[in-house]
Structure 1
Amino acid sequence: MAGRVVKRAFKFRFYPSAVQAEQLARTFGCTRYVYNRALAERSRAWSQERRRVTYADTSKMLTGWKRDAETEWLAEPSKGPLQESLRQLQGAFERFWRKQTGYPQFKKKGRSKDSATYYSNCFIFRDGQLRLAKQSEPLDIRWSRPLPEGAVPSQVTVSRNARGQYHVSILVEDTITELEPVDRVVGLDAGITSLYTLSTGEKITNPRHERTGSCAVGEGATSTRQEAEGIPEPGQGPTEGREDSWSDRRSGRDYLHKLSTRLVRENQVIAIEDLSVRNMVKNRSLSRVISDAGWSEFRSMLEYKADWCGRRVVVIDRFCPSSKTCSVCGEVASAMPLNVREWTCRCGVVHDRDVNAARNILAVGLTVASCGDGVRPPRT
């Protein structure tokens, strides 16, 4: 199969010296300050003047803050991470305007991961060593796997998690070989008790229930790394330390990577619902569960891996009555409360609520894939 060039991020642990740790702490603090101050300025301008502040406006503000005697310390770290914090804020507003997320929130020290992004003019990568701007020594990186041969990093992001562990994510171009076509398709129904139910009848355990460190992602799931399956995992090396792997599994991200890779590898078409996570998390009784499940992140993983590998993800209308439509005869029930997990259609078929929904999602997805959005499979 033909190869294609994609951007991939490779994530590694590193151990900063005392001087580097102090410099990074100042940089993290400055990026957080710039983000929060720009957010405050944009919010004030809108609430008091109904004026929308742009990224360019905040970039000019940053220049002024660096010259101000009270905040001249903003000139100490590299300019790249500070500009990137303004880009991230712009992205947060754009997602809010598209109604994908809530209004941008202030970053609080100690409550979110510290990070700083450097572009190619703010670091030097030479002879397998990475040195950030304004640092005299290269980072002590644990290279758990090699970067692609001849790779030239275009961006690096350093981060420190709540446990005080440092990581660096290196963005490079890589050539990915598309997978051979397969004749399997699948529909996915997102749930609470189960993370996803497949149209095949398989139910995928929600990672919030994972407390034993198991890597399993469902019945018959493989626990091997994706390098053996033909789909690389961005930002995850095959030989990370035990502590890192445990942290990854607890967060569920490694779990979602394995599941998304498996589904893309096994299926030519994957049909999912266009879930409005922003609205769903307003339900206080479900918000924590929904956030833990990582639905938005999982969809993103499916989409970019499918794009890499010559597969297709079809997203159907969120208002499709998948749960209360009989996947056999097409009859639509008048109501289907959340506590109803099994129901019997008038045609006599007994349905598992989630499996039935997944089969309807697949049917609609295949119709959309063939005929375009706005159409539905005919009732039988």
Structure 2
Amino acid sequence: MQRLQAFKYALMPTGEQQRNMRRFAGSCRFVFNKALALQKERYEQGERKLGYAGLCKLLTAWRNGPETLWLKEAPTHPLQQVLKDLERAYANFFAKRADFPRFKKKGQQDSFRYPDPKQVRLDQGNSRIFLPKLGWLRYRNSREVLGTLRNVTISQSCGKWSVSIQTEREVEQPLPNGGAIGIDMGVARFATLSDGTFYAPLNSFKRHETALRKAHQAMSHKVKFSNNWKKAKARIQRIHSRIGNARRDYLHKCSTTISQNHAMVCIEDLQVRNMSKSAKGSAEQPGKQVRAKSGLNKSILDQGWFEFRRQLDYKLAWNGGWLIAVPPQNTSRTCPCCSHVSKDNRQTQARFECVRCGFEENADVVGAINVLRAGHARFACEVSGAAMPPAAGTHRSDSIRLDS
């Protein structure tokens, strides 16, 4: 089985290397925004958008032009990769997988990518890596890089630079451990398993919400773009980074434990974007209970349900398991004993009591049991080749991509 995996490390660059990386990231941002503006201008004039080859020809002209001659100081391949990213963004937009491409801002997701492994040299013994026009950079060698190097991405977050090394290697097809389990996602309980165990929510944003609010208030009192304003903004970015790091760490620990101990995991096919839509409405038709819905949306987004499902997807594939997504409708309203469906079965948010047979259990556990049963039925249809109901089905890939 072919495995694509990325190993991320913190960089320890010199002052000159940091200045060069900021310049290279700025050059990539300039090329992306210039190409996007050109594409939008061609669309307004009724012309067809340029492909990747056409944009590369323009990139050569920009690098040789008198006004943008400074683009020559940046390596060529990262600038070309930016044009590929724009082409991919357009493809995702037309396939309705993402919104229309937006212009990049300075300080937000600054990064650039080296696609040619022949130009990169990795010296793990001395904890350093060689990159074109940057030289040897030292990094914190926290784990060994496995496989053949494919590409290298340099990124910046909260003033700290990191390197992601993507590799490719062949591994044996593993045999899964354990049996099948169903998972019910929630807010009061982050994940409830069909065997009765559950994972409590971390609520990393809620824990830092007070500090974040005070930091925003402090920044609002500063003169915009002054040195003190920049310091206050950096403080806000550090808090957001701390929130994201804590959430990712918790999701990785939960998903790793579940994927290593179960061969098949059934999960609800939740549409998080629809569930977290604003209830504000319009001036003509204002929404109801807007404040309560706003708090619920914040709690839903604080859990990281989609990221949890993404991690379960590739980790189960790495361990030889299966991830099955089932429709979430009536999973917490159906009695697992008599299969009676009624909204009256769920007396409260946490209590389930069947109005027909009197079965009592925690509502989240009931939801997980019903998810497991629906997953078994969907898996049986997949194996037998029978028609499956319209919803997300099983997924197992022999080539898994991991970005971090």
**Which residue identity is paired with 1:10?**
F
Give per-residue Cα distances to partners, 1:87-109, cap 9 Å, x unaligned.
Answer: 33333444444444444333322
Q: Post-superposition shift, 1:208?
A: 2.3
Report what 2:256 is aligned to. Answer: 261
Q: Contact 1:176/1:309 (CA < 8 Å) preserved in 2?
A: no
Residue 131 (structure 1) aligned with residue 152 (structure 2): no
**Which residue identity is paired with 1:118?**
Y
Q: Contact 1:120/1:153 (CA < 8 Å) preserved in 2?
A: no
Report what 1:202 is aligned to. Answer: 197
Gap regions ≥5 residues in structure 1: 214-242
**Segment drifting more, 43-52 vs 306-315:** 43-52
The whole-number CA distance in structure 1 between the counterparts of 2:81 and 2:269 is 29
Alpha-carbon distance change, 274 to 84 in structure 1, aligned in 2, over 3 angstroms: farther
Q: Contact 2:344/2:355 (CA < 8 Å) preserved in 1?
A: no
Q: Post-superposition shift, 1:257?
A: 1.4
Report what 2:284 is aligned to. Answer: none
Q: Where does 1:232-271 land on structure 2 (aligned, <5 Å)?
A: 247=242, 250-271=245-266
Q: Contact 1:248/1:254 (CA < 8 Å) preserved in 2?
A: no
Partner of 1:139, secondary structure, is strand
TM-score by length of 1: 0.76
Q: Post-superposition shift, 1:370?
A: 1.2
**Which residue identity is paired with 2:201?**
N
**Which residue identity is paired with 2:334?**
T
Q: Contact 1:65/1:71 (CA < 8 Å) preserved in 2?
A: yes
The whole-number CA distance in structure 2 between the counterparts of 1:48 and 1:278 is 34
Gap regions ≥5 residues in structure 2: 209-237, 280-293, 391-404
Q: Post-superposition shift, 1:196?
A: 2.0
Report what 1:191 is aligned to. Answer: 186
Q: Post-superposition shift, 1:166?
A: 1.6
- Match of residue 329, structure 1, among 323, 327, 338: 338
RMSD, matched Cα: 3.3
Q: Post-superposition shift, 1:256?
A: 1.3
Report what 2:11 is aligned to. Answer: 14
Report what 2:83 is aligned to. Answer: 86
Residue 294 (structure 1) aligned with residue 289 (structure 2): no
**Which residue identity is paired with 2:359?**
V
**Which residue identity is paired with 1:141?**
Y
- Match of residue 158, structure 1, among 154, 160, 164: 154
Partner of 2:148, secondary structure, is coil
Q: Contact 1:272/1:313 (CA < 8 Å) preserved in 2?
A: yes
The whole-number CA distance in structure 2 between the counterparts of 1:331 and 1:50 is 59
**Which residue identity is paired with 1:263?**
I
Give per-residue Cα distances to partners, 1:331-367, cap 9 Å, x unaligned.
Answer: 2225899974434222212343322222211111111
Partner of 1:322, secondary structure, is coil
The whole-number CA distance in structure 2 between the counterparts of 1:54 and 1:357 is 48
Give per-residue Cα distances to partners, 1:43-65, cap 9 Å, x unaligned.
Answer: 45456638555444544443343
Q: Contact 1:101/1:278 (CA < 8 Å) preserved in 2?
A: no
Alpha-carbon distance change, 345 to 161 in structure 1, aligned in 2, over 3 angstroms: same
**Which residue identity is paired with 2:84?**
R
The whole-number CA distance in structure 2 between the counterparts of 1:351 and 1:54 is 58
Q: Contact 1:100/1:277 (CA < 8 Å) preserved in 2?
A: no
Q: Post-superposition shift, 1:170?
A: 1.0
Report what 2:401 is aligned to. Answer: none
Structure ID, larger Rg: 2
The whole-number CA distance in structure 2 between the counterparts of 1:93 and 1:339 is 45
Give per-residue Cα distances to partners, 1:223-265, cap 9 Å, x unaligned.
Answer: xxxxxxxxxxxxxxxxxxxx9xx94874411211111111110
Q: Where does 1:1-380 land on structure 2 (aligned, <5 Å)?
A: 4-46=1-43, 49=46, 51=48, 54-110=51-107, 112-120=108-116, 123-128=119-124, 129-135=128-134, 137-148=135-146, 151-162=147-158, 164-209=159-204, 247=242, 250-283=245-278, 285=294, 286-317=296-327, 320-334=329-343, 340-347=349-356, 348-372=358-382, 374-375=388-389
Aligned length, in residue pairs: 336
